[in-house]
Amino acid sequence: MANDSRPAVPVDHFWMPFTANRQFKTSPRLLESAEGMYYTDTDGRQVIDGTAGLWCCNAGHGRREITEAVSKQIARMDFAPTFQMGHPLPFELAERLAEIAPAGLNRVFFTNSGSESADTALKVALAYQRAIGQGSRTRLIGRELAYHGVGFGGISVGGMGNNRKAFSSSLIPGVDHLPHTLDLTRNAFTRGLPEHGAELADELERLVTLHGADNIAAVIVEPMSGSAGVILPPQGYLQRLREITRKHGILLIFDEVITGFGRVGEAFAAQRWGVTPDILTCAKGLTNGAVPMGAVFVSEQIHEAFMHGPESAIEFFHGYTYSGHPVACAAALATQEIYQRENLFQKAIELEGYWQDALFSLQGLPNVTDIRTVGLVAGIQFAPHADGVGKRGYEVFRQCFEDGLLARASGDTIALSPALIVEREHIDAMVDRLANAIRKN
């Protein structure tokens, strides 16, 4: 029951992102506080956070260490420029991140979001090819159903139709796309990485033949496609992409905005699945979602290609006012300390079997057409409702929230990605509430 002693929250003026605004504002779902694995809404109800916020609060909510680090830093120095100036924290953070990154990715460019990380990575790739005398390499290759943020670069290489169609005439030219790897005919209800589909990586060879290797700068993929509904890489697929890109001098970019910082186990999916890209993007879990921040890791070889010419010359004409923001760095450093101290990157591996068994108990419920899990992430896909694609997914999401579970709806797929501090009793409660919502829809 609503708490009538509280004034109504005015909802008219905020144009909400990726939201059916009119639908939401008829019955707002408002969260007011958070601690550990739970949100509390404005009616005082506790809601299990099954999504780590938005794939980002990997260490759980309300971490005192992060709060204190941010408070101390903002009191000491709220902002300092990193254009032709500097302050110690981004240098310290970059060194700390290089220690956990895939081997060789030891140069870090700071951004403020996953979208900025994706666009930065694309610009690095294009500028690198030019710097090494391969200026004809201007074409970029993305993948169907991919999400790389909402910058014009990211939506150009991205492959989600609704994100692209209103802007189709203004997207970056010279972009092509690999096929996605979602194959329900052969891989539905596979436990772990799908057995079938590695051969889809060979489509890159076809694009090389079509466009010429000397015209392609980079291929960008998510190791696991999160926003499209948790689409897992088939066994051997990422390895094959790495072989093809290396053979043709094409850079391989991993977008690890979702998979980074322990989501699938290890610090990054690149390490969990044994494939090292040339460039890697991250955000979200970098600061546990406390302060917006992203980063782009590049190999020393790529970085050194820019370090020529007069020492007084700017090597890369790119950056953001808030690159390496001191408060964001403080949050990130505190977050990394928590990850290390509590060994959270291993939690997704330790709990993977229990998580998988719990989610696969939903197999056989009405309209469930596939279940995909790895690490501490899951996608449960439903047959579309007769009234349209996405309706059933939304209704399951809405019912989950009414039952005290925050899940994420992506079309007719419900995604779960709890904080890495999750315990078995939380998993049991999440699955019970999700099962109830599925039965009602």
Measured CA to CA, the distance from residue 9 to residue 32 in angstroms comes to 11
Q: For residue 112, what are the CA distances in angstroms to 34, 81, 280, 354?
A: 23, 14, 15, 35
Q: What is the pLDDT of residue 406?
A: 98
The rounded radius of gyration (Å) of the Cα atoms in the chain is: 22
* 267-to-240, 262, 272 alpha-carbon distances in Å: 22, 5, 8
CB 293 within 8 A of CB 287: yes
What pLDDT does residue 285 have? Answer: 98
- Per-residue pLDDT for 4 more than 80? no
Residues 300-314: tens digit of each pLDDT: 999 999 999 999 999
| Token pair belonging to 37 | 């694995």
Contact 342, 63 (CB under 8 A): no
Q: What is the DSSP string of 277-327?
A: -SEEEE-GGGTTTSS--EEEEE-HHHHHHH--S-TTS-S-----TTTT-HH
Measure the N-to-C terminal CA separation of the chain; round to a whole number of Å: 23
Residue 327 has which token pair?
Answer: 């408060």
Report pLDDT digits (tens) over 352-371: 999 999 999 999 999 999 99
Q: What is residue 39's three-state secondary structure?
A: strand
How far, CA to CA in Å, does 109 sit from each of 97, 105, 180, 401, 407?
11, 11, 29, 38, 32
Is residue 7 predicted with pLDDT exceeding 60? no
pLDDT reading at 92 higher than 90: yes
Helix H or strand E encompassing 349: helix 347-350
pLDDT given for residue 3 in this prediction: 45
- Mean pLDDT of the chain, nearest integer: 96
Pairwise CA distance, residues 233 & 235, whole Å: 6
What are the distances in angstroms from CA 395 to CA 8, 386, 434?
25, 13, 11
Structure tokens at 262: 């322990």
- Let me know how long the chain is: 441
**Listed residue (408, 114, 155) closest to 285, CA to CA:** 114
pLDDT in tens, 368-419: 999 999 999 999 999 999 999 999 999 999 999 999 999 999 999 999 999 9
Helix residue spans in 138-217 (DSSP H): 152-157, 161-164, 184-187, 203-211
Domains of the chain: 21-59+345-439 (3.90.1150.10), 67-341 (3.40.640.10)
**Span 11-48, pLDDT tens digits:** 999 999 999 999 999 999 999 999 999 999 999 999 99
Distances (CA, A) of 319 to 124, 136, 148, 296: 11, 24, 18, 12
Question: DSSP states of 87-141 as a string?
Answer: -HHHHHHHHHHHHHSSTT--EEEEESSHHHHHHHHHHHHHHHHHHTT-TT--EEE
Distance CA 218, CA 399 (A): 42
Q: In the predicted model, what is the mean pLDDT of residues 201-225?
A: 98
Kindly report, residue by residue over 131-157, the tens digit of the pLDDT.
999 999 999 999 999 999 999 999 999
CA 95 to CA 89: how far, in whole Å? 10
Confidence tier at 2 by pLDDT (50, 70, 90): very low
415: tokens are 């995604």
pLDDT at 1 over 50: no
State how far Cα 419 lies from the chain centre: 14
| For range 37-61, the mean pLDDT | 97
What pLDDT score was predicted for residue 5? 46
Tokens representing residue 402 in the block: 């009414």
Specify the pLDDT at position 8.
77
- Mean pLDDT of the region 340-347: 97
Over pLDDT 90: what percentage of the chain? Answer: 98
